[in-house]
Structure 1
Amino acid sequence: MNDPHEQAADLTYKRYIACLNARNWSELRDFVTADVVHNGRSLGVDGYQEMLEKNYRDIPDLYFNVDQVVTNEKLVASRLRFDCSPIGEFLGMPVNGRHVVFHEHAFYTLREGKIAEVFSVIDKATIEAQLRSQ
């Protein structure tokens, strides 16, 4: 990765993930645009933060582990690994505190160095298989 734009995007993404893991909501605006969109829903930064806070309430031990990341100056593609115990229902499944490991595939569009749009998909089939075997 020799391109300075790619290096900047990679560093920004790593700092964004660190912000999420620290639950440092006061810095979230440093990484996402005021009009950020998630999976086609216009949330704005406040709605995006509310979504993340709910994720942490539903999964108290939530931690974003970056398995793979590819960046250029306008896009970030990432495979995130989660090793956690959601309380209650998660993605419509009765996890109820059981331990699961799964991945999320996320694609971020950057605008002026910040995340403007996120498309993400969680590997629900893997969670379902783990729940059946527990």
Structure 2
Amino acid sequence: MNAEEVRAFYRRYIDCLNRRQLNELDQFVNPTLTYNSDFISLYDYQEMLSQNFSDIPDLYFAVDWLIPAEDQVASRLIFDCTPAGEFMGIAISGKKVIFTEHVFYGLQDGKIGQVWSLIDKDAIRKQVSD
């Protein structure tokens, strides 16, 4: 895929997440992938996202930056949400927080095969302690 095709692919992937259509992830994600160096299955990835939606009922993936390449995507996502209880080991208990995720994807055979995710936990901690 060229950069514009990758951009369109990624936008469709994010739309799939925002529609919470996790049963459609096989259109975007390989049957096995690496997530922050861990080998996981598509099922594991779906379960992780399902847990995220459960923990954060108003979760919405807002793309701030999107840098597509032939077989890679770099993205900065912004979340403005209200986790229900604990999130990433941080007791939030229904407080609204805004944070970012910097996520990089490696594409293999036209689908996501690698994900590297870095979430700004310090921003979350600071908002909860204020």
Q: TM-score, normalized by length of structure 1?
A: 0.94
Counterpart position of 1:87: 84
Following the alignment from structure 2 to structure 1, what is the Cα–Cα distance between the partners of residues 38 and 28? 18
Question: Quick check: 1:128 aligned with 2:128?
Answer: no
Distance 2:124 2:16 in 1: 26
Q: In the alignment, is residue 111 of structure 1 matched against residue 111 of structure 2?
A: no
Residue 77 of structure 1, CA deviation: 0.3
Number of equivalenced pairs? 130
2:61 & 2:49 partners in 1: Cα distance? 12
Q: For 1:48, which of 45, 48, 65 is the aligned residue?
A: 45
CA deviation profile, 1:32-83 (whole Å, cap 9, x unmatched)? 0011221111111111000000000000100000000101111100000000
| Structural RMSD (CA) | 0.9
The answer on 1:14 being equivalent to 2:11 is yes
Cα distance in 2 between the residues matched to 1:59 and 1:26:
19
Stretches of structure 1 that go unaligned for 5 or more consecutive residues are none
| Separation (CA, whole Å) in 2 of partners of 1:124 and 1:22 | 25
SS at match of 1:46: helix
Which residue of the partner structure matches residue 99 of structure 1?
96
Partner of residue 36, structure 1: 33
Q: Where do 5+ consecutive residues of structure 2 fail to align?
A: none
Secondary structure of the 1:50 match is helix
TM-score normalised by the chain length of structure 2? 0.97
How far residue 26 of structure 1 moved from its aligned partner, in angstroms, is: 2.2
